[in-house]
Amino acid sequence: MKFTVLGSGAGIPSRTRNTQSYILDVVEEINQYFLIDASEGVQHRILHTTVRPSKIKHIFITHLHGDHIYGLPGFLSSRAHQGGEDIPLTIYGPPGLKEWIGLTLKTSHSQLNYPVHYEEVSHNVQYEVEGFTVDTYLLDHTIDSYMYVFNEPEKLGKLNTDKLKAIGIQPGPSYKEIKNSGTFSHEGVTYDTKAFLSDPVPGRKVSVHGDTRVITKPDYLSLLEGSDLIVHEATYLEREIEKAHMYFHSEIHNVLQNFSQIDYRKILFSHISNRYDEDDIRLIKETLDEHVSIAHDYLEITIPRISL
């Protein structure tokens, strides 16, 4: 599993940062990519990666501000000619998204050669997506803006082949059948498969925010608890907490203070204002812990599966 930043900037792009779009690479797990937000030019950004548009079957839009959606009609049109023919696509997003896309495609006389299904998201809903669960949480912004929490299912533990041999079952195709069963029988005795497996390996958890103020609610922090990766906006980097709050955005140190009460493995700050140049960001990075990163365009983060 990998997380790729296609755009790390806030509302107005800079020379080094496009506006916000991400790819959650779950090709190894389910042979797909999840696209999260679709900033202007996202189809061009993808050309600089190994991502195949036809393998993007689910798109998650955090909110309907232009810097998060202006690239979506272009991507949809290009996907139709990049191997996407007849491959269904589901788009998750706030109310109004379906209407906007439909009007844009109609006005531009654009035709899609694959079916599109829309899921109109709301607060505190869980979706089943290709074996993953995806939770939504309504954030605190000028319009409805959501966090998506991607939860990978746990993986079965390893089969203890020595224990199987001890009861007389030799290596062969039956091992796979046993591992995927609840119980199995041998020589008239029924066994619980769990007794022959090591502990399951927990699934990974990736929490991706749209634009938001800092939120201190217990249910929000509980939802983030145990994330392998949290992606949060940091439009402000220099302790302008009151200003960030006034404009419905976040300041990096305030976010870190808020998250000091939960456990997580890594946090990635994105949605960086174009007022900061790379020297500013380098100086701020030097003050941060090793589990904290500031995004840049085309950054890739590998999210390993951690065994208990």
Any known ligand binding at 271? yes
Any known ligand binding at 228? no
Any known ligand binding at 65? yes
DSSP the chain: -EEEEEE-B-SS--SS--B-EEEEEEHHHHSEEEEE---TTHHHHHTTSS--GGGEEEEE----SHHHHTTHHHHHHHHTTTT-TT--EEEEESTTHHHHHHHHHHHTT---SS-EEEEE--TT-EEEETTEEEEEEE--SSS--EEEEEEPPPBPPPB-HHHHHHTT--SSTHHHHHHTSSEEEETTEEEEGGGGB-PPBPPPEEEE--S------HHHHHHHTTBSEEEEE-SB-SS-HHHHHHTT--BHHHHHHHGGGS-BS-EEEE-B-TT--HHHHHHHHTTS-TTEEE--TT-EEE-PPPP-
- Active-site annotation holds for 67: yes
Any known ligand binding at 86? no
Which member of 25, 37, 67, 144 is catalytic? 67
Any known ligand binding at 67? yes
Any known ligand binding at 296? no
| Max CA distance (Å), the chain | 73
Residues whose CB is less than 8 angstroms from the CB of residue 73 and which lie 6 or more positions away in sequence, other chains included: 101, 104, 105, 108, 110
Any known ligand binding at 68? yes
Amino acid at 291: H
Please report where in the chains the tokens 């305030």 appear, as a residue: 254
Is-contact 183 123, C-beta < 8 A? no
Binding-site positions for Zn(2+) read: 63, 65, 67-68, 141, 211, 271
Residues catalogued as catalytic: 67
